[in-house]
Chain A
Amino acid sequence: MTVPEPAPGGMLLEVEGLTVRLTVEGARRPVLRDVSFAMRPGEALGLVGESGSGKSMTARAIDRLLPRGAEVDGQILFDGRPVGGMSGNPLRRYRSEVAMIFQDPRAHINPVRRIGDFMTEALRTTGGVPVREASRRAVDMLGQVGIEDGERRLHQYPHELSGGLLQRVMIATALLTKPRLLLADEPTTALDVTTQAEVMAILDELRREFGLAMLFITHDLELAAAICDRTAVMYAGQIVEIRSSALLHDDPLHPYTAALAAARPDITQTAHRLHAIPGRPLSAFEAPADECAFAARCDWAQDACRAAAPPVAELDGGLSRCVRAYSLRGQLAVEPAREGTDA
């Protein structure tokens, strides 16, 4: 059942030692610390974390959307080409190969232009595709995302569409340039749960159909596991675990992952008390540099955890940034039966 680790060669995306610092109120503050992972073509990787974990920043770094003045160390390779130094035509080509969709579609679409204009813009301007052909492709893609009357929709304005419909339009637009990597930053967080299920199904289906790699960012561990083969968990600007999604919930490698799963209420039973993690999630700049960022809140912390920054341990096809990874193996699972009874 374990998903094999990606082969060293032929990676679509390689992020190596990515460290990003931003200037906030005159001080240089880290927001990402030594983030490393790789994605094969066509692979879906989930990126899960709470506030300040750096998951959105990672996507922005990959898409070259960091704020001005950001200091970037480490490198990002797309198809073996470094992304950091790109400009001009290589950058334009890169942007057509990597698409991004966001949490709030309304904030990323011009409210005074029609849907059709928005959808075909990239094709027309950088792709040189004539309007009629671009519109035809747009209608076609709208059909793929489940919007049948595409012709009519092209003439509508964003405010005439519901949040769920608009997010589908965004997905369709993102796919028009035939990207090879889709960055999805919490695309369903603002949607109703039934709409979310629908949009997730569409993303899953289209990803497989187009052979698209996808980096799916969310705060919901189970949501990521639903359509991603592997899931990475971030805390305080670092990746603390990468694991095959099937194993992540029942056999986590890192205490934070286990704590996150345990903190979530169970829809099938009422717990007497939820196992809450004390304290609050730290951002990268709040985390101490020379010890485990999670140690203060960890049930399993020992002195070794505070002595030095924990190294990355590779085991069982996954990765864990924990000093005690080997000794905690198999002990971190969520107890199948919670204490307490149903109301």
Chain B
Amino acid sequence: MTATGRLMAPVTARRGRSIGSVLRATGPAGMISVAVIVAATLAAIFGPLLAPFPPNLPNLSLAWVGPGGGHLLGFDYQGRDVFSRLLVGARSSMLGPLAVVAISVTAGSVLAIIAAWRRGPADAAIGAGLDILFAFPGILLAVLAAAVFGAGLTAAALALSIAYMPYVARVLRGAALKERSQPYVAALEVQGAKATVICLRHLIPNIAPLIVAQATILFGYAMVDLAAISFLGLGVQPPTANWGVMISENQTGIPQGYPLPALSAGLCIVAVVIAVNVLGERLFDQAQAVRR
């Protein structure tokens, strides 16, 4: 790297920055995203305690009634308080994508690193296996899973995890290969360090920003896909509150002039997906800047 090229590089290094300073460095968009995610997470954890009204108690005489009298968002098609259902629904809506991301990113990372480390025939074999998995769209696998194991969040989440894994693996493999070819890895090999140690202590931390970025992107996709699966009736089953299911159940209200229940659920999904993506992008940018 020439001196001319390095004019952009910072002169001093800062080590061990606190989480607070990292987050603050993400800018206003980043901070808002954090707030949204924290709110959704709190709802997921404490939803049932915070809900002002019983989320599952139908009262058909109140169906489609608008906001008023403490009911911030009115009532849904069965006369249940929409706001309470949103709060309680956060749990299944967030948990599903979280599980999908956790499984697919972990499995994808492991495969990518093994392929990148060993190269040659192992890489080719893993690549071939992943190519086969690529052929299956997530929703198709979910339908299959529902048919075999019965509809429900678990089956849907597992199916999506399998479908997403090859995407993660493909992206991470490229980065892992590049990192693995660096002289500092070779230096450790020459020192006699074990492969697993090098991968855990050096390879993974250096591609961690990419892993986090992948995870946030996938979270968004998983949320939308799971909502779609639930919308189709194959995921979370009624009467369990779930944002995707709420769009489905309340969709008839839109042409009738009662859009609020369906749209508010949709907005929750959109808000969380955008927040996760924005935060992931900012964190990635920061991590990349630190490296140089």
Contacts and interface: CB of A to CB of B under 8 A. Distances in A.
Interface of A: 22, 24-25, 29, 31, 51-53, 56-57, 60, 283
Contact of B2 (A24, A25, A56): A56
Contacts of B10: 25
A25 B3 CA distance: 16
B4 A24 contact: no
B7 interface: yes
Q: Is the interface of A mostly helix, strand, loop or mixed?
A: mixed
B8 interface: yes
Contacts of A53: 3
B6 to A, nearest CB: 8
Contacts of A51: 2-3
Interface in B1-30: 2-4, 7-8, 10
A24 B3 contact: no
Contacts of A22: 7
Interface residues of B, number: 6
A27 B287 CA distance: 22
Contacts of B2: 51, 56
A29 B4 CA distance: 13
Interface in B165-187: none
Contacts of A25: 8, 10
Interface string B195-220: 00000000000000000000000000
Interface of B: 2-4, 7-8, 10
Contacts of A60: 4
B292 to A, nearest CB: 12
Nearest to A286: B11
A283 B8 contact: no
18 contacts: A22-B7, A24-B7, A24-B8, A25-B8, A25-B10, A29-B7, A31-B7, A51-B2, A51-B3, A52-B3, A53-B3, A56-B2, A56-B3, A56-B4, A57-B4, A60-B4, A283-B3, A283-B7
Which are the 5 A-B pairs with shortest beta-carbon distances? A51-B3, A52-B3, A56-B4, A24-B7, A25-B10
A326 to B, nearest CB: 32
A29 B11 CA distance: 12
Contacts of A29: 7
Contacts of A56: 2-4
A24 B9 CA distance: 8
Contacts of B8: 24-25
Contacts of B3: 51-53, 56, 283
A103 to B, nearest CB: 8
B53 to A, nearest CB: 51
A56 B3 CA distance: 9
Nearest to B7: A24
Given A31-B7, A60-B4, 15 more contacts: A22-B7, A24-B7, A24-B8, A25-B8, A25-B10, A29-B7, A51-B2, A51-B3, A52-B3, A53-B3, A56-B2, A56-B3, A56-B4, A57-B4, A283-B7
Contacts of B4: 56-57, 60
A110 to B, nearest CB: 21
A208 to B, nearest CB: 30
A24 B10 CA distance: 8
Contacts of B7: 22, 24, 29, 31, 283
Contacts of A52: 3
Nearest to B8: A24
Nearest to A56: B4
Nearest to A22: B7
Specify which of B2, B4, B8, B10 lies most central, judged by the most chain A CB atoms within 10 Å of its CB.
B4
Contacts of A24: 7-8
A52 B2 CA distance: 8
A146 B2 CA distance: 30
Contacts of A31: 7
A22 B8 CA distance: 10
A29 B10 CA distance: 12
A56 B1 CA distance: 13
Contacts of A283: 3, 7
A343 B126 CA distance: 55
A56 B7 CA distance: 12
B60 to A, nearest CB: 62
A181 B10 CA distance: 35
Nearest to A25: B10
Nearest to B5: A56
A28 to B, nearest CB: 12
B11 to A, nearest CB: 8
Nearest to A283: B3
A31 B3 CA distance: 10
B8 to A, nearest CB: 6
A60 B4 CA distance: 10
A22 B5 CA distance: 12
B235 to A, nearest CB: 46
A331 to B, nearest CB: 31
Nearest to A186: B2
A24 B7 CA distance: 7
A336 to B, nearest CB: 33
A60 B3 CA distance: 14
A22 B4 CA distance: 11
A94 to B, nearest CB: 22
